[in-house]
Structure 1
Amino acid sequence: MPRVLVDAAAVPADRGALTRYVHGLVAGLHRAGADLAVVCQRAEADLYRRLAPSAEVIPGPVSLTNRAARLAWEQTGLPLLARRAGAGVIHAPYYSIPLGSGLPTVVTVHDVTWFTEPDQRSPRASFFRSATRTAVRHARRVIVPSKATRDELVRVLAADPTRIDVAYHGVDLAQFHPPSEEEVRRASTRCGLHGRPYVAFLGALDPRKNVPNLIRGFAAAVKTLENPPALVIGGGVHQYDVDAACREVEATVKVVRPGYLGASDLPGFLGGALVVAFPSRGEGFGLPVLEAMACGAPVLTTHRTSLPEVGGDAVAYTEPDADSIAAALGQLLASPGRREQLRTAGLARAREFTWAASAEAHLSSYQRAIE
């Protein structure tokens, strides 16, 4: 296969699951023996050299940390760089693509919630809707992380299903693993819990993540417990609806918001939780669910979009409204046996999703684009 150029410069370093997708994919492509070039932000060049020692790692211009400058460079500088690097195909892993490169281009569309979620009205949402429409129309192949996302692309944008390839994400079992007692203790201290039991959420605070209903449902689920656990909302920044939901609950309900958690904290944080609750209204894949299962956490999520493809029979499900979350969460908190069953099933399920398999699916998509 000709050389593949992955435009990792499009991915901000602090974008959580998106960053882990690109890192896992690049490492998987390297292990699969792909002839690989990676263009990235200058500050991340050494990281990509460690992830893919055989790849040609090309630091982009300093200006790429600015979105407007990066998008302009994507249309002009990236095609020139790709040709100079001898690339036969370009992979754009984050919605937008170069339109005049003259090379086959593959794009990853992670989800279509920018179109389907009623709360997505910001200028950022307008950009992603426009970029997605353009990419779906002009890319040779479109990679999506689930069958649900493929079906939504066809339904919402009338995309051609014969040009869409499904490539599930993987999970890095070296990073996401059942934690040691020391890892659990460190994460508990980092969150200010000092050993107190807790229910965990990890992710951005976008409206579709449904965190306000999780807070309300959690408060209802624990209100009669003598020694209730805390709810820890990891990741994200302050968001108005979440702040308002926190003010609604009684002062006796402990909601902890530690902010961004480093990679080394995640196994202890996820694996040390009584339950990891992820009641999202819609996901392209749902990487936090997979990573929580890999850490040995019992997971509660919803039946929406891709989440059943990831969780299968190894997670518990709820509807996304607060009352349903309260009922489902209450049942899990009252049943250590059920939590242990989910813990065991989740570990087995997580092993089915590998970056090696994801890399092979990507390589097949690149080959189709070239052909």
Structure 2
Amino acid sequence: MPRVLIDAAAVPADRGALIRYVDGLVAGLDRAGADVAVVCQRSEAERYRSLAPSAHVIAGPVAITNRAARLAWEQTGLPLLARKAGADVIHAPYYSIPLGSGLPTVVTVHDATWFTEPDEHRPRASFFRSATRTAVRHARRVIVPSKATRDELVRVLAADPTRVDVAYHGVDLTQFHPPSEEEIRRAALRCGLHGQPYVAFLGALDPRKNVPNLVRGFASAVKTLERPPALVIGGGGMHDDDVDAACREVEATVKVVRPGYLGASDLPGFLGGALVVAFPSRGEGFGLPVLEAMACGAPVLTTQRSSLPEVGGDAVAYTEPDADSIAAALGQLLAAPARRRRLREAGLARAREFTWDASAEAHLSSYQRAIE
């Protein structure tokens, strides 16, 4: 069996969707009996040894915690390390690749919105556009998490579709599960809700997540309710001034809670305890928050943009991304508890179709194609 070296040192350590992708993939490859070496930041080494007991885990040099140093090391130190580790193929899971490794290289391109929605990514768009162009041109195989992303790469970069492999993400059902009453109570306490029902959003606050329109749509949907729920905007990452402006626009009777970053143990209770999880994104490469919310038994409202219908299928409700459409769709869901129950049941069944074991098998096939 060929040995694959996964460059986990490149992945942001913010516990967001990208690192959950690498965690799920590495664990799935380990369960599949794959011959895997993982290079990572020193602070992450023990965690990867726990995730993948059979993998060869390599702690990278201290200097690669600095982004510029890591990018330079990727071109020089990573190829040397790969050869020393006896790798047959290198997998770069985060856009950029080593160009002179002499080994087949596979890259994961998570989405094409750097090109299709450039204004939604300021100020990082130019770097990622350049890295993606280079990776798509030089990698032996390109892995994408959805057919929509594959089609966009072919359209905007003229990528060779015969070199692009679709490998859907999975969901860890031990981490994301229908919560107990205690998990719901603890998450509500963390958010300062004191028993008030709520609509949840979870994710980074970058512009394409469309949180300002969610705030405006939510305020419109609940303004006539005698006992309106709160809107809880969970997650860390980028700061969006437009979100602040939207929150200032709403009436004082509309409660918007911003608890910031939520720990992994809070997520099942936060998502599964919500009346609705709203994720009205303008575009996603996959849409892991939608899948994770379904796995927690939450009724989900999202958009039909890019990959999101591939993930949600018929198990979620859909809206257009403008504030008026969000208000109408959210208002209908809040007024229909029976429909929310049906979405919970459909979402749980849908989530079970996406596994990291299946994703690992798709990755293994891509690695083998790269070698051949």
Shorter-chain TM-score range: over 0.9
SS of equivalent residue, structure 1 residue 231: strand
**Shift of residue 118, structure 1, vs aligned partner:** 4.2
Aligned to 1:319: 320
Aligned to 2:301: 300
Letter in 2 for 1:363: L
Q: How many pairs were matched up?
A: 371
SS of equivalent residue, structure 1 residue 39: strand
SS of equivalent residue, structure 2 residue 48: helix
Provide closer, same or farther for how the CA distance between residues 296 and 121 of structure 1 changes in structure 2, counting only shifts above 3 A: closer
Identity over aligned pairs, percent: 89
Matches within 5 A, 1:1-371: 1-120=1-120, 122-236=122-236, 237-371=238-372
Letter in 2 for 1:122: R
**Shift of residue 238, structure 1, vs aligned partner:** 3.1
**Shift of residue 216, structure 1, vs aligned partner:** 0.2
**Alpha-carbon separation, structure 2, partners of 1:27 and 1:263:** 17
Letter in 1 for 2:135: A
**Alpha-carbon separation, structure 2, partners of 1:190 and 1:15:** 18
**Alpha-carbon separation, structure 2, partners of 1:191 and 1:214:** 18
SS of equivalent residue, structure 1 residue 12: coil
**Alpha-carbon separation, structure 2, partners of 1:257 and 1:326:** 20
**Alpha-carbon separation, structure 1, partners of 2:291 and 2:30:** 23
SS of equivalent residue, structure 1 residue 91: strand
Q: Please, which moves more after superposition, 49-58 or 228-237?
A: 228-237
**Alpha-carbon separation, structure 2, partners of 1:120 and 1:148:** 18
**Alpha-carbon separation, structure 1, partners of 2:49 and 2:299:** 35
Letter in 2 for 1:318: T
**Alpha-carbon separation, structure 1, partners of 2:276 and 2:130:** 38
SS of equivalent residue, structure 1 residue 281: coil
Conservation of the 8 A alpha-carbon contact between 2:3 and 2:36 = yes
**Shift of residue 123, structure 1, vs aligned partner:** 4.1
> Structure 2 regions of 5+ residues with no counterpart?
none
**Shift of residue 350, structure 1, vs aligned partner:** 0.2
**Alpha-carbon separation, structure 1, partners of 2:122 and 2:191:** 31
SS of equivalent residue, structure 1 residue 87: coil
> Structure 1 regions of 5+ residues with no counterpart?
none
Conservation of the 8 A alpha-carbon contact between 2:6 and 2:91 = yes
Conservation of the 8 A alpha-carbon contact between 2:93 and 2:108 = yes
**Alpha-carbon separation, structure 1, partners of 2:77 and 2:89:** 15
**Alpha-carbon separation, structure 1, partners of 2:327 and 2:304:** 16
Letter in 2 for 1:277: A
Let me know the Cα RMSD of the aligned residues. 0.8
**Shift of residue 122, structure 1, vs aligned partner:** 3.0
Provide closer, same or farther for how the CA distance between residues 121 and 33 of structure 1 changes in structure 2, counting only shifts above 3 A: closer
**Alpha-carbon separation, structure 1, partners of 2:279 and 2:50:** 32
**Alpha-carbon separation, structure 2, partners of 1:204 and 1:89:** 32
**Shift of residue 140, structure 1, vs aligned partner:** 0.1
Letter in 2 for 1:274: L
Conservation of the 8 A alpha-carbon contact between 2:146 and 2:310 = yes
Note the alpha carbon deviations across 1:2-32, whole angstroms, 9 max, x for none.
1000000000210501110000000000000
Note the alpha carbon deviations across 1:224-265, whole angstroms, 9 max, x for none.
000000000000253101111101111111000001000000
Q: Please, which moves more after superposition, 210-219 or 122-131?
A: 122-131
Provide closer, same or farther for how the CA distance between residues 310 and 121 of structure 1 changes in structure 2, counting only shifts above 3 A: closer
SS of equivalent residue, structure 2 residue 21: helix
Regions of 4+ moved over 4 Å: none
Conservation of the 8 A alpha-carbon contact between 2:118 and 2:125 = no
Conservation of the 8 A alpha-carbon contact between 2:178 and 2:295 = yes
